[in-house]
Amino acid sequence: MKIGRNDKCWCGSGKKYKACHMSFDNRIKDFQNRGFVVPHHGIIKTAEQIEGIREAGRKNTMVLDYITPYIVEGANTAELDRMIEAYTREIGCIPACLGYQGYPKSVCISVNDIVCHGIPSEDYILKDGDIVNIDCTTICNGYYGDASRMFCIGNVSEEKRKLVEVTKECVEKALAATKPWGTLGDMAYACNKHATENGYTIVREIGGHGCGVEFHEDPWVGHIGQPGEGMLLVPGMTFTIEPMVNMGKPDVYQDADDGWTIYTEDGLPSAQWEYLVLITEDGTEILSH
């Protein structure tokens, strides 16, 4: 279906197409003709959706801020999960993980050699020397915010502390390389370059994702790539940057019993930070971190 110059724009602004997204669409078409993978309208958010996702991101950041002081030696991870669920509901939101494709808890807590999707458990108590990722996703008025942070418990080895810090730097470098009318490959290249330069590897099979109207939307966001490759980034896209950085080999496997937990194959530690970002007219905006 072709949209006429004088028809209403697809973005819901109420303006005529020619006065709204027509030149924007032509610019995208130009890239497409030059061989770029380009985003479809379904993943370019309207102003109203951006407002909703921004609020969901803000609430998700509040949940991470709330739980931060409790991520200490001796904390029971199932209790942390209950606290996160209760606080999320208290601020008028819903934990997105709970029941998502059968996931049993409200948050993912991934310790040491767990790469991601660790399930909180009564049996796991945070101990001195652990590095732990807390990954929260919050639904607010139907919109989604998703982010994760690392924490160091007590006396963490210099090696593990460095992994945690470099992984955060990977996200910061990735973010700096993320811009409107650039590509996901620009971001991935910067991210992987920093990991590699520090002797680390990035997990290939699992990545970030479009996020906001749904939990996991297009595009899939890899963190290994080449500049100028991968999907074109345009204003209105919202997605996560969430590299999983391994101290050793990049290989991972899934726990056959619980069907969720992802471990490093070599048993060495892995770290991850996750930001939810919006592509704006002139840069990026962090919606949750």
User: Is residue 217 near Co ion by the rule CB under 5 A?
Assistant: no
Is residue 17 within 8 Å of 41, Cβ to Cβ? no
Residue with smaller CB distance to ligand MF3, 186 or 274: 274
Count CB neighbours of 41 within 10 A.
13
User: Is residue 66 near ligand MF3 by the rule CB under 6 A?
Assistant: no
Looking at 135-143, 154-162, 192-200, 251-259, which segment touches Co ion (CB under 5 A)?
A: 135-143
How near is the Cβ of 32 to Co ion at its closest, in Å? 27
How near is the Cβ of 87 to ligand MF3 at its closest, in Å? 17
User: Is residue 146 near Co ion by the rule CB under 5 A?
Assistant: yes
Among Co ion, ligand MF3, none, what does residue 100 contact (CB within 5–8 Å per kind)? ligand MF3
Tokens of 231: 């999907």
The letter for the amino acid at 259 is G
User: Is residue 85 near ligand MF3 by the rule CB under 6 A?
Assistant: no
Residue with smaller CB distance to ligand MF3, 25 or 274: 274
User: Is residue 135 near Co ion by the rule CB under 5 A?
Assistant: yes
The binding track of 87-126 with respect to ligand MF3, each residue x by CB under 6 A or -, is ----------x--xx-x----x--------x---------
The binding track of 214-253 with respect to ligand MF3, each residue x by CB under 6 A or -, is --------------------------x-x-----------
How near is the Cβ of 12 to ligand MF3 at its closest, in Å? 27
Q: Name the residues that contact ligand MF3, by CB under 6 A.
A: 97, 100-101, 103, 108, 117, 135, 137, 146, 209, 240, 242, 260, 274
Which residues are near Co ion by CB under 5 A?
135, 146, 240, 274
